[in-house]
Chain A
Amino acid sequence: MNLKKQGFHSKFRAASDHLATGLAIAATLLVVAPLVAIFIYLIYKGASSLNLAFFTHVPKPVGEDGGGMANAIVGSGVLLGVASLLGIPVGIGGGIYLAEFGRGTKFANAVRFTADVLNGVPSIVMGIAVYSLIVVPQHHFSAFSGGVALGIMMIPTVTRTTEEMLLMVPNSVREAALGLGVPNWRSVLSITLKTASPGVITGCMLAFARVAGETAPLIFTAFGNQFWSASLNEPIAALPLQIYVYAISPYDEWHRLAWGGALVLIILIVFAVSLVRYVASRGILKGAS
């Protein structure tokens, strides 16, 4: 028996095993580190600039202290409202088609694939398309065009999550509804979709959280606004857009506001994502199947 040689070999194998474990742990720590750094810095910088004025005032002109981002918060609300009105119904409809009518068909596979690919198209490209589709014919920037750009970005995400959630509904539920003589459309809307609704809602919130932080498509659609505006037909301020403008400006006061805005945005998004995760972890179909 060649014990000595084997001993070296197995020591080498054990050492490389430990080395790989160590590297994997180090990699995980390095992945977590930027998140922790970003959050600590955001809270440290942002919390000091949040006050009542931040939520109630519009921005002051350059050189004056104070002011807030009230118009941007309202503007983001308007934009996201328009986006949800467009993106959520169409997205859910597409998801219903894929899960209930198009299972296994070539058309459905093509739609699914296109939705996944569309998810990866840069948001700035959506912005250009909406710009030449709506802004150019209208001859002015508008909240409506910004909302449409965001809504288009929601559609593929909502479609795919709705489909996945509907596929988890057991067939017996559908059969029970149809067996009672309920028309198919009614069964889909009131039984299948309702059973999957927690999952569908979380999918919508995920899409919502994703477009809530989008800046690029808004630069030349919603354009931004330093004053109050809630009209769909005029340029409107948005939180991410305002953060961008303030961040690249040379004024300390505006940097302060940018950090505050970023903190508000992050709190909203983290809240949405945590809610999604909480609902998902409870099992979307508990009690239904």
Chain B
Amino acid sequence: MVPLAETKIRRPEVAIELPALVVAEPSPDGVALPVPPAEASEIRRFLLARGNSALADKLFLAVMALCALSIFAIVVLIASQLVFSSQLSWHKFGLQFFYKFNVDPETKLPVFWDPVAGTFYALPFLYGTLVSSLVALVIAVPLAIGSAIFLTEMCPRFLRGPLAFVTELLAAIPSVVYGLWAVFVLVPLLREHINPVLMTIFNNSVTVKLFGWTGLVGNNGLFGGANYGLGMLAAGVILAVMILPIISSLTREVMSAVPHSQREAVLALGATRWEMIRMGVLRNARIGIVGSVILGLGRALGETMAVAMVIGNRPEIQKSLLSLGYSMASVIANEFSEASDNLYLSALIEIGLALFIVTIIVNALARILVWMVTRGVPARVN
């Protein structure tokens, strides 16, 4: 701030000259002479001593604008640092970084990520991030929309405040505490009780006979293979718990932005409450709801600690949701501080850059959609 004050905003001595307060004194020869300004005016001296607020205002405005600019600066800074530090990996692998893999000559299995051999391909991380986020959305979206419907349309007034508070609290719990809970409660629960049930439902002979052609059931299907408890499903479930509050609260926001006249109109036509919600509320708020779901997706894509603790940390691609995987954010968290050579570090930073770009796009899209609904344009039934 100091150089700014010294260079640009110097006090101009002329500009603040006030119009001279003329106190006419009849001189002996009858001509009125203006009194020399400096000593004549008490008011003027007072004003000069107080300084000029126009300058201070300009300085203040400049400082505040700098603060606002800092937001852009942060984005530019992050982007430039990531691009700059991932040059090495970009030059070595190019776009192949995101889809190529080597094949192990002995086992014939694909090898994506082997820091010792210098193999760095990011496909399993993209896959893990995408699949765990999709599992999270599948679980979280119906629950979030259901609870938002209950809170805005059905809930008795005395319950509304406490329930909204509880969902807010859910949003305030740190990621690492979710992870801790997931490791010691959720994973054993999945391993002992839920996964065996899922496996018997999906892998028994009847379902295999009926749905075997989809490739999603049986021992090679979505719930086949070994049951570790850890894995994609555990990551998806904990992500679902974490993104519930954000989807729920934004959905509530867009649903309460639907004008009351819409609800009344549908009710006046003889609709039941559910029909009113379906036709009057959900239909008007659908763009905003999609926006809030995408925002939840953005959160899920970037979630780091809880996922790193339960996803199993194995850079492989497998169809089963019970298998161990790895996600973009968690590989950075786990391996960044032990990355020994520059290429390794640069490959991790390139994963970070990809994550940054994807989350920026997803968030911008979601914000635009939410904004389209809540900006105050009256909703229309169509």
Q: Tell me the A residues contacting B by CB distance below 8 Å.
A: 13-14, 16-17, 19-21, 23-28, 30-32, 34-35, 37-38, 41-42, 45, 89-94, 96-98, 100-102, 107-108, 110-111, 113-126, 128-129, 131-133, 136, 152, 155-156, 159, 183-186, 188, 209-210, 212-216, 219-220, 223, 240, 243-244, 247-248, 255, 258-259, 262, 265-266, 269-270, 272-273, 277, 281
Contacts and interface: CB of A to CB of B under 8 A. Distances in A.
15 contacts: A27-B143, A31-B144, A35-B170, A38-B178, A41-B185, A113-B364, A118-B74, A119-B363, A121-B360, A125-B82, A125-B359, A128-B82, A213-B177, A220-B337, A244-B305
A214 B59 CA distance: 35
B9 to A, nearest CB: 13
A124 B244 contact: no
B160 to A, nearest CB: 11
B360 to A, nearest CB: 6
B150 A24 contact: yes
Interface stretch (B98-106, B117-125, B261-269, B349-357): B349-357
B241 A17 contact: no
Interface in B173-201: 173-181, 183-185
Contact of A120 (B77, B183, B359): B359
Interface string B60-89: 110111111111101101100110110000
A181 B155 CA distance: 51
B380 interface: no
B275 interface: yes
B67 A247 contact: no
Nearest to A273: B172
Contacts of B184: 41, 45, 255
A277 B349 contact: no
Contact of B82 (A20, A129, A156): A129
Contacts of A270: 169, 172
Given A27-B149, A212-B174, 9 more contacts: A27-B143, A28-B147, A38-B178, A38-B181, A114-B72, A159-B68, A185-B59, A266-B177, A270-B169
Interface string B282-322: 00000000000001001101111100010000000000000
A220 B66 CA distance: 29
Contacts of A156: 71
B71 A159 contact: yes
B274 A17 contact: yes
A133 B143 contact: no
Contact of A14 (B65, B82, B272, B356): B272
B275 to A, nearest CB: 7
A120 B150 CA distance: 27
B337 A219 contact: yes
Nearest to A223: B337
A266 B295 CA distance: 25
Interface in B329-382: 329, 332-333, 336-337, 348-349, 352, 355-356, 359-360, 362-364, 366-367
A101 to B, nearest CB: 6
B6 interface: no
B174 A240 contact: yes
A-B pairs, top 3 by smallest CB distance, nearest first, are A213-B174, A27-B146, A122-B302
Given A28-B150, A247-B176, A247-B309, A90 B67 contact: yes
A256 to B, nearest CB: 11
B78 A94 contact: no
Contact of A215 (B71, B174, B244): B174
A247 B180 contact: yes
A280 to B, nearest CB: 11
A55 to B, nearest CB: 19
B146 A277 contact: no
A89 B63 CA distance: 11
B277 interface: yes
A214 B144 contact: no
Contacts of B172: 209-210, 213, 269-270, 272-273
Given A28-B150, A126-B78, A111 B185 contact: no
A96 B149 contact: no
Chain A CB within 10 Å — which of B173, B175, B362, B364 has the most?
B173
B304 A216 contact: yes
B163 interface: yes
Contacts of A89: 67
B11 to A, nearest CB: 15
Interface string B135-156: 0000000111111011100110
A102 B56 contact: no
Contact of B56 (A90, A113, A183, A213): A183
A92 B304 CA distance: 28
A234 B230 CA distance: 35
B132 to A, nearest CB: 14
B25 interface: no
Contacts of B303: 122
A155 B273 contact: no
A89 B64 CA distance: 10
Contacts of A255: 184
